[in-house]
A and B are shown apart, each in its own frame.
Chain A
């Protein structure tokens, strides 16, 4: 019995881990039926495994792994994020427009336009200090009258034109 027990006990661990052959399995099972020592050894192995597994399972349940992954992913993203200059450079390198080097004439055209339009945009405007509506009026042929009313918001310029067929007065 002792010899048999010592030979089976070597297989017990393999049996417990389901790593034995069919022949070894039947040998162990036949022996276990009559051997309390090996039965105890097998149950001890079971209890040991449970004793190791349970705390790990509990720890798994308590720890929020999705949150941990989120944190890790965020960290990865932060490390990977390029700065603005790098983003611009990558955009330039992927833009077919800039690959063709058309930006040189485009920038030149824009610069010319700015130079042409800037004097128009920033042209010094005349300041009107006088509220007068008529700046000047002249007629080399007829008399002219100017009437400005403040209340009626109307200004009249009247040309005293002579008869149509008549030659203008000198």
Chain B
């Protein structure tokens, strides 16, 4: 009976503790795109960004390198290796209704080469580009899922 009572208390604690944590999580979609002028192909999985990429940049080829859905918890940085020594660090620092505020850092050899804070609105994409990748550059497409 003592074991049952202790199990009951533990389950209660877990439920109570897990509920606010799970509510605070934000699903963020990260797409790592390689843009270059080698060839002229656009990855079919980038069709929703095709118009934006074509109107904003003058690259001829866009290739999807990675497509990830990140579950971000407040103030817990998520590290994603991008290319060679470069890594991306995303931290959820705030949330207000359907707007999530993220700190994004691009690191090279452990050093921050870009540090920014952006707000992700529903239906809006943030493109962070520029870091070299092979014969082209890397473009990171960030969007939030609510």
- Taking Cβ atoms with an 8 Å cutoff, the residues of A that contact B are 96-97, 100, 102, 105-106, 109-110, 113, 117, 120-121, 125-128, 132-142, 144, 147, 152-161, 163-164, 168
**Contact between B12 and A100 (Cβ–Cβ < 8 Å)?**
no
Most buried by B among A109, A113, A141, A158: A158
**Contact between A153 and B123 (Cβ–Cβ < 8 Å)?**
yes
Known: A97-B8, A133-B126, A153-B125. A121 touches B117 (CB 8 A): no
A139 to nearest B CB, angstroms? 5
Contacts of B111 in A (CB 8 A): 141
Size category of the binding interface on chain B? 35 or more
* Beta-carbon nearest neighbor of A117 in chain B: B20
**Contact between B131 and A157 (Cβ–Cβ < 8 Å)?**
no
**Contact between A159 and B131 (Cβ–Cβ < 8 Å)?**
yes
Selected from A125, A137, A147, A159, the residue in CB contact (under 8 A) with B56 is A147
Contacts of B120 in A (CB 8 A): 133
Q: Give the docked Cα–Cα distance between A159 and B99 (Å).
A: 24
B65 within 8 A of A: no
Give the interface SS of chain A, mostly helix, strand, loop or mixed. Answer: mixed
Selected from A106, A136, A168, the residue in CB contact (under 8 A) with B116 is A136
**Contact between A132 and B119 (Cβ–Cβ < 8 Å)?**
yes
Contacts of B5 in A (CB 8 A): 97, 100, 102, 106
Q: Give the docked Cα–Cα distance between A51 and B99 (Å).
A: 94
Query: 27 A-B residue contacts at CB 8 Å?
Result: A109-B9, A113-B13, A113-B17, A117-B16, A127-B96, A128-B96, A133-B119, A133-B126, A135-B119, A138-B116, A139-B113, A140-B112, A153-B124, A154-B52, A154-B126, A155-B118, A155-B127, A156-B128, A157-B118, A157-B127, A158-B129, A158-B130, A159-B129, A159-B131, A160-B130, A163-B132, A164-B132
Q: Give the docked Cα–Cα distance between A100 and B55 (Å).
A: 71
CB within 8 Å of A: which B84-108 residues = 94-96, 99, 101, 106
Contacts of B24 in A (CB 8 A): 120
Q: Give the docked Cα–Cα distance between A136 and B124 (Å).
A: 17
A128 to nearest B CB, angstroms? 6
B115 within 8 A of A: yes
Q: Give the docked Cα–Cα distance between A152 and B141 (Å).
A: 14
* Beta-carbon nearest neighbor of A147 in chain B: B56
**Contact between B130 and A159 (Cβ–Cβ < 8 Å)?**
yes
Q: Give the docked Cα–Cα distance between A139 and B131 (Å).
A: 12
Q: Give the docked Cα–Cα distance between A117 and B24 (Å).
A: 12
B31 to nearest A CB, angstroms? 13
A124 to nearest B CB, angstroms? 10
Contacts of B125 in A (CB 8 A): 153-155
A161 to nearest B CB, angstroms? 5
B92 to nearest A CB, angstroms? 13
Known: A125-B96, A154-B125. A159 touches B12 (CB 8 A): no
